């Protein structure tokens, strides 16, 4: 395990292990990233796996500032000196830009857009991992999230708006295999 990945795992564990279900999900996302990292060179694969470990760190009470987990997580990681690719992947993962628009949250513009192929990979890992860390279909995962959040919730609204794009990202990654 690279130093970057180990550091990301440790930071995520220290902040998220008390949130049992979230931690199980994160562990599953990281395992998925490990399985597909071979599509990329070593540098990019390491950054993908590190982002998988830290993608939900913004949910940690000790990290939360705005309440928008991609933004809070990316800012936290930047402050901790993580590489910009990891930071930007966390900022933009799984349709975060649409959710930011729905919420009226500013701040994602402070991060560079990550390479689409790597962002697709992180989105694939996130959307094919259930809350308990199990492998699920992206369609089932999106339905689970919609059930968890009511129609008036920004998460629900953002998924309604971005579902086709999210499923297309998953499909692009599935085409590698």
- Interval 104-131: pLDDT, tens: 999 999 999 999 999 999 999 999 999 9
Q: Has residue 1 got a pLDDT over 80?
A: no
Distance (Å, rounded) from C-alpha 70 to C-alpha 75?
9
Give the residues across from 129 on adjacent strands.
135
Question: What is the DSSP secondary-structure string of 44-106?
Answer: HHHHHHHHHHHTTGGGSTTT-SSS-HHHHHHHHHHHTT--HHHHHHHHHGGGHHHHHHHHT--
Which residue ranges form the domains of the chain, and what is each CATH number?
3-174 (1.10.3210)
Please give the share of the chain, as a percent, with pLDDT higher than 70: 100
Convert the pLDDT of each residue in 15-40 to its tens digit: 999 999 999 999 999 999 999 999 99
- What are the tens digits of pLDDT across the range 54-108? 999 999 999 999 999 999 999 999 999 999 999 999 999 999 999 999 999 999 9
Q: What is the pLDDT of residues 136-158, one digit of tens each?
A: 999 999 999 999 999 999 999 99
Overall average pLDDT of the 151-171 stretch? 97
């Amino acid at each position: 395990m690279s130093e970057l990945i180990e550091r990301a795992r440790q930071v995520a564990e220290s902040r998220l292990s008390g949130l049992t279900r979230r931690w199980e999900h994160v562990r599953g996302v990281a395992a998925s990233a490990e399985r597909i990292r071979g599509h990329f060179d070593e540098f990019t694969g390491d950054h993908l796996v590190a982002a998988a470990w830290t993608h939900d760190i913004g949910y940690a009470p000790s990290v939360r500032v705005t309440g928008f987990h991609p933004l809070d997580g990316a800012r936290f990681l930047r402050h901790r000196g993580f590489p910009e690719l990891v930071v930007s992947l966390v900022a933009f993962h799984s349709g975060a830009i649409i959710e930011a628009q729905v919420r009226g949250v500013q701040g994602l513009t402070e991060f560079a857009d990550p390479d689409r192929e790597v962002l697709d990979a992180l989105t694939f890992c996130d959307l094919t991992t259930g809350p308990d860390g199990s492998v699920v279909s992206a369609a089932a995962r999106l339905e689970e999230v919609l059930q968890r959040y009511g129609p008036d919730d920004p998460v629900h609204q953002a998924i309604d708006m971005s579902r086709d794009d999210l499923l297309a990202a998953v499909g692009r990654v599935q085409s590698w295999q």
